[in-house]
A and B are shown apart, each in its own frame.
Chain A
Amino acid sequence: MDVVEELLRVDWGDTGMKLAAYAAFRSRNLYWRTGSDVALAKGLMPEDIAAQAIVSVIGGERKWEPERGPLLPFLKRVVDSLLNHLALSADNGRIVRLAQDDRSLYGAERIAFQEGGEGSWQRCPADFDAADLSESKYDADERIDRLAEATRGTPELAEVLNAILEFNEARPRLIALRIGKPVNHVNNCLKRLRRLALKISADVEGLAVSRGAIHP
């Protein structure tokens, strides 16, 4: 079927919203000179990145072939690419170690959950010195403790978190095997744990109310 016909069948309201949320989600994993998750670089917001991805795919600059897979995952890959380019752009400055005085809503989360040398944040490996026990690492320690504390009233979350901490396992499938639960259950718990981590970070920074609190 013709690509244009396929594009005309898409619910662009829903797709756009999902893509904007995805751009927001992914942008939190990157360093922005602005220190904000709303204003990234070049004055762009996650919603603008979603718009750019949509325009480039519909315009044919990025060729989507319906027979090779659905549209939304393709658009998400375009968002990834645009965000990476933006993060590496001159306007964003060089990628540097996460600022320890980052006071943005999710800055604390970035410091707490992305400073490890073995994680997905490896753009500047030389900046991660295992012997460097900076203040932020103590903060990170405390944040894990707070997360563990916060899951105490929710046994299913505590179970998944304990499995992660005990086995240092980064694959949901293997966590599911460890605790004898379906992968979907683990993924749902991970989403709730993430929101809990965001809320803890927001509480620490004292900015939750002004930016919209996130509840597990």
Chain B
Amino acid sequence: MSKRRGNRRRMIATLAELFDHVAPDEIDEVREELRALGVDPSAAARRLEQVALRSIRERILREHSNAARAPIHRRTAVDFTDKLN
């Protein structure tokens, strides 16, 4: 009995390890995973998209500002200010 139980414990560990390798990656699975948590997938997508775009805007402004402050011979040709709109 204890041997069987010991084997079962190993099986449980094996299942946990296998499940750990199958993260949801297709969009339907992703939506299902979020819904299971009580999260609206579309709302999450909108929120995270806004977070990302705001961060990109901040990065562009920062890089632009750094480029403007750099000595002329070290300035990069990058200008993304047109992307801000």
Residues in A neighbouring B2, C-beta threshold 8 A: 133
Chain A interface residue count, Cβ-Cβ cutoff 8 angstroms: 68
Q: Would you call B72 an interface residue if the criterion is a C-beta within 8 Å of the partner chain's C-beta atoms? A: no
CB distance from B20 to the nearest CB of A (A): 5
Pair B45/A8 contact, Cβ less than 8 Å:
no
Interface SS, B side: helix
Contact flags (1/0) for A97-127 with B, using CB distance below 8 Å?
Answer: 0000000010000001111111111000000
Chain B residues touching A, range: 35 or more
Residues in B neighbouring A51, C-beta threshold 8 A: 47-48, 51
Closest to B27 in A: A14
Pair A18/B51 contact, Cβ less than 8 Å:
no
The 8 Å CB contact of A116, one of B10, B22, B41, B80, is B10
Contact flags (1/0) for A27-67 with B, using CB distance below 8 Å?
Answer: 00100000001100000011100110011001110000000
Residues in B neighbouring A133, C-beta threshold 8 A: 2, 5
Closest to B57 in A: A58
* 16 A-B interface contacts by CB (under 8 A): A4-B63, A12-B49, A20-B44, A24-B33, A26-B23, A46-B37, A58-B59, A116-B13, A120-B16, A133-B2, A168-B14, A190-B21, A191-B22, A197-B19, A211-B36, A212-B36
Could you tell me which B residues sit within 8 Å of A by CB distance? 2, 5-25, 27, 29-39, 41, 44-49, 51-53, 55-56, 58-60, 63, 78, 80, 83
